[in-house]
Structure 1
Amino acid sequence: MLKLSQFWILLTACITGWATPLLAQRTISDARIEYKLELPPEQLQMEAMFAGSNMIQYIRGNLSRIDMNFNVVNYIYLINAQTEGLITLMDNHGDKYLIRTDKKSYEEDMKRFQTTTFTDQAETREIAGYKCRKAIGKLADGGTFDVYYTVDIIPENRYYNRRFLNLKGIPLEYEIIMKSGSKMKAIATKVDLSPVPMSIFDVPKGYREITSDELKKIRG
């Protein structure tokens, strides 16, 4: 039979064991995550052109922003989950274009990603100071991509990035499937959870508004 003192030691240990992961997990409303971008091996001949390419994910409440900087061309995506609005900005060697996605197109796009599934794997690694678990994402068209995510920080706004609607945490390393079928990799280098200024989500001036069809022609 356990003595009373032994019982309290055991109970304390159990409570501590249960409470630790709960306390470690943090729901966030603001975040700034910096990623470095790595080209797939078959495109390393273009490495010099894309050297230093990076991406920044901003989150503040219902607002989010993604900056993708490829040196030769830069993209900014401004997303408002509350109004279901998306604005795409492209700067191609100083030629600046703005494309607005209407609510209907926004909802259709979201539906495509709502069917994405993530299957956890045994592999783990530490990225930007966070322990991450590997998962395999499967898209509606059957395509797959690897992702490492942490459950230590959970975004209040699950629509901050449509790609990860069904992921159980924040992705700190993942593959991006390109139009060619190759996979580019995004790897987090810094996670900043301090408040993000509202000005980050302002639409910058100097961009010419065009339609999505016109953008497709420009992209070729």
Structure 2
Amino acid sequence: MKYITVMQKAILTLLCCCLITGSLFAQRLVSDAKIVYRIETPPQADPSFEGGTLTQYMKGHLSRVDIDFKSVHYSYLINSREETVVTLIDNHGDKYLIRAGKDEYTKELNEYTQVQFKDGTETKQIAGYNCKKAIGKMPDGQTFEVYYTTDLLPENKQYNRRFVNLKGIPLQFEIINKNGSRMHVVATKVDLYAVPGSFFDTPKSGYKEISREELMKMGS
């Protein structure tokens, strides 16, 4: 009987080691990825914003966010090494390019580093990944909901500065609009593959380069 007990202990120890090792290796450090989200707009939103998508690309220190609606397309090309952001806007065929340098990049990053996330108890599965709920609190006191997975850890924490303090990759989150309404962004597909470097190139033609101040004057 003592021999069986010893064997049982040995097997139990082996199983525990396997479970611990498995949980550690379940976490994947992500350098390259493409995540597609659907955008759920509030009922009072402009119908032209229905059916929108948000696509997040990552490649090392480079990242890109594409937001597509029926008639308007936004792209944000982020270089965390050079600390720059290039914004591309295609509004009914009118194309504009806006550059943000290191000063603006650092200012916005400092604002996002003040966002604090507090884990909740709710969980759900999104796009095949187990996610836990967290509430993000912004410096102005506003809060927003996010579900994130710890199975995927971004190699570049600044791939999306909004989530620089999050302990994983968000697969569902809220975006608060200027009028106070909220859009829900929910992942539908996660692809982990070598994203082409050309995805992050700034266009050399086809866009009119303007400043952020000029954009504001245009009423966009």
TM-score normalised by the chain length of structure 1? 0.95
Q: For 1:140, what is the secondary structure of its paired residue?
A: coil
Q: Please name the residue that 1:52 is paired with.
A: 51
Moved over 3 A (4+): none
Counterparts of 2:103 and 2:62 in 1: how far apart (Å)?
19
Q: Please name the residue that 2:167 is paired with.
A: 168
* Superposed counterparts of 1:1-220, under 5 Å: 3-43=5-45, 46-47=46-47, 49-204=48-203, 205-220=205-220
Residues 40, 51 of structure 2: 8 Å contact kept: no
Gaps of 5+ in 2: none
C-alpha displacement at 1:19, in angstroms? 1.5
TM-score normalised by the chain length of structure 2? 0.95
Gaps of 5+ in 1: none
* One-letter amino acid matched to 1:210: I
Provide the aligned length of Structure 1 versus Structure 2.
217
Residues 144, 174 of structure 2: 8 Å contact kept: yes
Counterparts of 2:99 and 2:84 in 1: how far apart (Å)?
8
Counterparts of 1:50 and 1:113 in 2: how far apart (Å)?
26
* One-letter amino acid matched to 2:177: M
C-alpha displacement at 1:17, in angstroms? 2.3
C-alpha displacement at 1:21, in angstroms? 1.2
Counterparts of 1:197 and 1:211 in 2: how far apart (Å)?
28
* One-letter amino acid matched to 1:83: E
C-alpha displacement at 1:86, in angstroms? 0.4
C-alpha displacement at 1:72, in angstroms? 2.2
C-alpha displacement at 1:25, in angstroms? 0.6
Counterparts of 1:54 and 1:154 in 2: how far apart (Å)?
23
Deviates more, 1:108-117 or 1:4-13: 4-13
